[in-house]
Amino acid sequence: MNANPVVAVLHAEALPSAVRMAPVAEHATLRYTKREGLAGALDGADVLFVYDFQSDALPDAWYAANALSWVHAASAGVDPLMFPELVDSDVTVTNSRGIFDVPIAEYVLAQILSFTKDIPESLRLQRDHTWRHRDSERIAGRSVLVVGTGPIGRAIARLLTAVGMNVSGSGRRSRTGDPDFGTVTATEDLPSALAAADFVVLAAPLTDSTHGLFDAELFGSVKRGARLVNVGRGELVRTDDLVDALRSGVLAGAALDVVDPEPLPRDHPLWDLPGVVVTPHNAGDFVGWQDTLVDAFADNFRRWRAGLPLENVVDKRLGYVPSS
């Protein structure tokens, strides 16, 4: 290993905290760059820290990655990095798995409670100074299907189970006796699982097999009046088909932290459809999340320098970190 490795840091407007990067700067030469300077920063660099995790700049700059051995993403999802040249290379990819699990689970619970207690209508009535008694729904005993059984999906399952909901999962293979989901349905059996779910939570990674998974045909299997919560990727859903499912009443509502496209255009119908909540891809962004992401990279850098196994190594063929 190079005694003074070069670490390229891809960022947007905001730089990672210098204090948090100090353990890396002590042992490496840092090259901070925005997307337009990435190729120059990659030339001779040993490591790339993708702090701007939404950037799609790396494929165009990949030709300059002549010494790169490791790419770390400051995110759980790594779909912008799964282009053929990187997938086929010997470069190791790691992510920030684990940081956002519980905050995202809290977001999901908050949205389910908002649906069932009709918080938006309460706020509207308050703005109108209207006192109107209304009944609300309970969540205990209601059925939830979590599509995606990785760490985020498991955190969601544990939290929703704790409040009395009946949770099952959908993953690549079927199984019973799962510690968090109980029953996990294989993807090919997703239509039958959807028919029984009051709430559907999307927490799957974006891969070739999940891209556009929720289309008009699959929405046709959804229990009428179900609610959808998407905290995975917007591209898991065909947006036009989602709009149709909402307009037809197949879905009674949707909480969308991720959409396709992002950002959602100002004139898009999702903004104004009844029962729809749109948030700007911030379900997991708790106070201090940026520093926590840098800490995770710094800790993995320490392991890399010491020749220890890296944490959260992505299986580039799958597009995510396999569960142990």
- Domains of the chain are 6-99+287-306 (3.40.50.720), 101-278 (3.40.50.720)
Catalytic annotation on 31? no
Residue 49 contacts residue 8 (beta carbons within 8 Å): yes
Active-site annotation holds for 247:
no
Q: pLDDT per residue over 2-43, tens digit each?
A: 779 999 999 999 999 999 999 999 999 999 999 999 999 999
* pLDDT tens digits, one per residue of 190-236: 999 999 999 999 999 999 999 999 999 999 999 999 999 999 999 99
Could you tell me which residues come within 8 angstroms of residue 256 by beta carbon, excluding any fewer than 6 positions away? 228, 229, 230, 234, 270, 276, 277, 278, 279
Whole-number Å distance between alpha carbons of 4 and 12 = 25
CA distance 249 to 225: 6
- List 262, 266, 302, 311, catalytic entry: 262
11 included as an active-site residue: no
Q: Give the separation between CA 318 and CA 320, rounded to whole angstroms.
A: 6
Of 97, 142, 154, 233, the catalytic one is 233
- Percent residues over pLDDT 70 in the chain: 99
- pTM of the shown model: 0.94
Annotated catalytic residue, options 72, 154, 227, 281: 281
